[in-house]
Structure 1
């Protein structure tokens, strides 16, 4: 249910790898031929870094990412040409070991033009980091936007879940007060016990139900108290069964996830005489929970527009909280109403 957070390489590591790689490319020819590394290699590296971060922190955010493509391309071409040309004239590329600097190499071949691979080297040296700056900054911006989208989506889901939960609380309270009212009208001696049960239920809803997850054993105690409260209301509760089996140790679930199905069973499983047929079976396995609720549909019960609010809420919560790890099967043949819910933990 909880998605693991993606972990990305730290930015300093990516930048350090880039500069180590570029430095390695620059000194490789000299190491290969056992020549001393020229001092201007470090200067070129600093120039490449200045160009890189100027592009990374200023040009890309202010031009490329703001749809000023033509301006960005124009500035980039001018910068690469200017820096590359300046580096080419200030620090001539060194040729093969047998010829020394490229200027000496050209003296041996008067009248010949400079090989293109030598003339393009400064532009390649500065152009590759420049392109990497574009790729890295654009990737970071895309990742930042994706993280922001996920954060907004998560907050949206949490707010919707909270809204659904607040809808359940008044619905439950309304039904419970009706139960106590019916007992008081009958002057039932069970009225005080019903009030105590309701206070325990409200205590759970106030102090536990506002949490994202609650221990399964507390949710089970809540269900037991609710069923006990309903039994007090009913004139005949012989056909009300609650069976809970399995080990609930260490298991956690979202609060108030099952109660809507149970409320619905009592609401529509009672006839004019107060006779109710409700069976609730909660089976707890190592990696799943199976809730089975079945009730006879009272002949006098007619579904109103608001009758399905609680069930629709819990369906929405299940889709939010267990998008690919639950199975919900509801059957209604007019005489009986069955709910089969399997949660994969």
Structure 2
């Protein structure tokens, strides 16, 4: 029986106890001269035990599991047993010359049930309402925990991906141009510091996200070596604005990967970021060669990154975003609109 009692049993028991006490007080003051007969007190305690049986045993064991017929049958049986005990034992003992003088009868049991029903009904309403509130809170908590776990998984996919590509570029230059390697390592160090230590919050400063994008692009530019060009254009007021982390940099990283995986030369990448009062617009355009032997691999990776970003936006932005992408000839175009938060509203 103890295993069936919910974790909020103390609180709703206090509330139900107040209902029971109020009923007891009604009996006390129902007499011309307020008093409480010991037999009436025994009645109330006995009927309180019936309420405990109904609310803490039968309700969770049958009603909450959808076994309504069993619950109804058990409740009727409980009323019959308690009513019979009251008719056959309590009344003859405490009221031998009044109610106890009559023999046991079904009518007496029904009368006991009718008398008890108002109190049981109020207690049941309170119990159902309280349990419903707890179930809703548990559902919200479970959803929040699921979201947090999913976001951690999505983030774990992003960090190694960016790190792996950057290290590949640095390794290539360490073999051919050792003069560039130290600067690339510094930019990579700052990028990792940002992704590992500064992105634990749901929102990060837009300016810091843009610095990381600049560092990432600088690392990629060093590996471009005349095989194409990169154009980054940022406009708007970025101060005091907050944004979801890993969204922009993931899409920028995919933009590079899509081109690098499908082209050896003639790479063209254009990135435009516009910050408005409460909205940010990102547009990326990258060339690709659909006849390149690694094209399928590149498109597949790009699809994974976009799906990752879309899922994070769905979880954290409440659906307030627009993300479109597709081919326009030999150029892959992606456009994103997402909400920006000001410093005052950035932590809600």
Provide the TM-score with structure 1 as the length reference. 0.72
- CA shift, 1:194, in A, is 0.9
Alignment partner of 1:199 is 2:175: no
Which residue matches 2:306? Answer: 311
Residue 283 of structure 1, aligned match among 275, 278, 286 = 275
Q: In 2 relative to 1, CA 244–191 (structure 1 residues): closer, same or farther, beyond 3 Å?
A: farther
Residue 155 of structure 2, aligned match among 151, 165, 174 = 165
Q: In 2 relative to 1, CA 278–200 (structure 1 residues): closer, same or farther, beyond 3 Å?
A: same
Residue 74 of structure 1, aligned match among 65, 74, 77 = 77
Q: In 2 relative to 1, CA 136–258 (structure 1 residues): closer, same or farther, beyond 3 Å?
A: same
Provide the TM-score with structure 2 as the length reference. 0.71
- CA shift, 1:197, in A, is 0.5
Which residue matches 2:217? Answer: 227
Q: In 2 relative to 1, CA 135–187 (structure 1 residues): closer, same or farther, beyond 3 Å?
A: same
Deviations 1:63-121 (A, max 9, x none): 655644334431233224543776766788xxxxxxxxx99xxxxxxxxxxxx9x9976
Between Structure 1 and Structure 2, which shows a larger proportion of helix residues? 2
Verify the 8 A CA contact 1:197 1:226 in the aligned structure 2: yes
CA distance in 1, matches of 2:87, 2:25: 19
Which residue matches 1:273? Answer: 265
Alpha carbon RMSD of aligned pairs, Å? 3.8
Which residue matches 1:152? Answer: 142
Which residue matches 1:37? Answer: 34
Query: SS of 1:209's equivalent?
Result: coil
CA distance in 1, matches of 2:230, 2:320: 32
Q: Which runs of 5+ in 2 are unaligned?
A: 1-10, 100-106, 342-348
Greater shift in the superposed pair: 81-90 or 138-147: 81-90
Query: SS of 2:323's equivalent?
Result: strand
Alignment partner of 1:130 is 2:120: yes
Deviations 1:147-198 (A, max 9, x none): 4444333322222221111111121112212322343354263222111101
Q: In 2 relative to 1, CA 221–126 (structure 1 residues): closer, same or farther, beyond 3 Å?
A: same
Which residue matches 1:322? Answer: 317
Deviations 1:235-288 (A, max 9, x none): 357651231532442x54443122111112223356543643312214152xx3
CA distance in 1, matches of 2:237, 2:16: 54
Verify the 8 A CA contact 1:280 1:294 in the aligned structure 2: yes
Deviations 1:2-61 (A, max 9, x none): xxxxxxxx636643553465356546755xxxx322323655544443332343334444
1:1-345 alignment, distance < 5 Å: 11=12, 14-15=15-16, 18-19=19-20, 21-23=22-24, 26=27, 35-40=32-37, 44-62=43-61, 67=67, 68-69=70-71, 70-83=73-86, 122-187=112-177, 189-235=179-225, 239-249=230-240, 251-269=241-259, 272-273=264-265, 275-285=267-277, 288-299=278-289, 302-304=295-297, 305-334=300-329, 335-343=331-339, 345=341
Which residue matches 1:5? Answer: none
Q: Across the two proteins, how many residue pairs are aligned to each other?
A: 309
Which residue matches 1:97? Answer: none
- CA shift, 1:123, in A, is 3.5
Verify the 8 A CA contact 1:262 1:293 in the aligned structure 2: no
Q: In 2 relative to 1, CA 261–306 (structure 1 residues): closer, same or farther, beyond 3 Å?
A: closer
Verify the 8 A CA contact 1:248 1:284 in the aligned structure 2: no
Q: In 2 relative to 1, CA 124–84 (structure 1 residues): closer, same or farther, beyond 3 Å?
A: farther
Verify the 8 A CA contact 1:60 1:137 in the aligned structure 2: no
CA distance in 1, matches of 2:111, 2:28: 13
Q: In 2 relative to 1, CA 299–313 (structure 1 residues): closer, same or farther, beyond 3 Å?
A: same
- Structure 1 outlier segments of 4+, above 6 Å: 84-92, 118-121
CA distance in 1, matches of 2:335, 2:312: 16
Which residue matches 2:5? Answer: none
Q: In 2 relative to 1, CA 158–245 (structure 1 residues): closer, same or farther, beyond 3 Å?
A: same
Verify the 8 A CA contact 1:277 1:296 in the aligned structure 2: yes
